[in-house]
Structure 1
Amino acid sequence: MIRVLAIFFLIAGSTNLVEVDEKVIARQGKVSFFSYTSVEDIKAENNQVLSVIDLDQKKIAVSMLMNAFIFEKALMREHFNESYLESDIYPKAVFEGEIIDFDRTITGEQTRIIKGVFAMHGKSKELEIKSKIEKKDNKYIVSGVFETLVKDYDINIPPLLAGNIAKSISVEFRFEYEPYED
């Protein structure tokens, strides 16, 4: 009887191992944004973005610290963090979503829609982002560009500076994923 129970638990335990979701991780993803106005262009880049994809569930999560954005001018960074994004109160932005019709067996490139919720500055917004997914060996590269509106995240821009900041911001991202190991 003990042998039968031991074999049962061994088989049950190995079944659970097969059902474990496979994940890939990007520890130093890149997110940049660009704001064009006739007065001044604002550009910033963040190379400390973390992202994980659950390949079996087709789920993706992204997390980034807002104060990790680097600007051409120190004053822009200061205004971004203190006046607009209030990074001390809202330190990070998060995206959680699903890669629609993703096929992990395709080697090479596929274009897919990533649908999910982006949360920043205490506000959440549903997004659909057309993305390019490249698979080479066991590595994935996910990249894309999308537009977002400043007003969607309750970012207050003083009327005096409204001409310096575009109402729509172009956001570009690129993540290089490798197999996740605990």
Structure 2
Amino acid sequence: MKPQAVLIVLLLSGLAALPGLAQSKFLTRAGTISFFSATPIEDIEARNEQVGAAVDVQSGQVAFTVPMKGFQFPRSLMQEHFNENYMESEKYPRATFSGNLINWVPDALLAAGPQTVQVEGDLTIHGVTKHVRVPGTLEKQGNRLLVKSKFVVAPADYNIEIPALVRNQIAKSVDVTVNLACNPAP
């Protein structure tokens, strides 16, 4: 079993309740990640609504997995180039993140509204793993946990090669937005 799958299973096993919170583990299989990159020729954007994620607000562990072929583009040719030429989705079918909330106090979710957090861990894209630290928010809304984050990824950091013909016409970084609405783990 892959390390990310093991982490998700561990997060979902043994439900420990938080004082004041009835549930500490949350998950989704329909989270959303989108990205946007402005370019002189044409903006590049895509959306993926097949993100699997697990969050344990007691321990602060966070894990998610993103099927690369789940990204939908406005034009099918963009999607084809993304999967075949840039991401090599047959060879690297998933991007993953495994990490922890930094300086997290679980009782913060008892307060109303979004709680600002920092998440630190390993982001793997295109077979390359980088240790990252990104901002985000957590918010308890009814029995759901809302998770949001915005950060920047540089394709070059993950050995994603841009052909020389278009290299100067494509942005050096991509804005990534994460939106997860997680339900209590069963």
- Which interval holds the TM-score relative to the shorter structure? 0.7 to 0.9
In 2, distance between residues paired with 1:54 and 1:135? 13
Cα distance, 1:27 vs structure 2: 1.6
The answer to whether 1:141 aligns with 2:143 is no
The number of aligned residues is 165
Alignment of 1:1-182 (within 5 A): 22-105=24-107, 106-107=109-110, 108=112, 109-181=114-186
Contact 1:97 1:116 in 2 (8 A): yes
Contact 2:40 2:170 in 1 (8 A): no
Unaligned runs of 5+ in 2: 1-13, 19-23
Contact 1:37 1:163 in 2 (8 A): no
Cα distance, 1:83 vs structure 2: 0.4
> For residue 160 of structure 1, what is the amino acid of its counterpart?
L
TM-score by length of 1: 0.85
TM-score by length of 2: 0.84
In 1, distance between residues paired with 2:15 and 2:156? 46
> For residue 40 of structure 2, what is the amino acid of its counterpart?
S
Unaligned runs of 5+ in 1: 1-16
Between the aligned residues of both structures, percent identity stands at: 36
> For residue 112 of structure 1, what is the amino acid of its counterpart?
V
> Larger radius of gyration, structure 1 or 2?
1
Contact 1:39 1:163 in 2 (8 A): no
What RMSD in Å do the two structures reach over aligned CA positions? Answer: 1.7
Structure 1: 4+ residue segments shifted above 4 A: 17-21
> For residue 168 of structure 1, what is the amino acid of its counterpart?
S
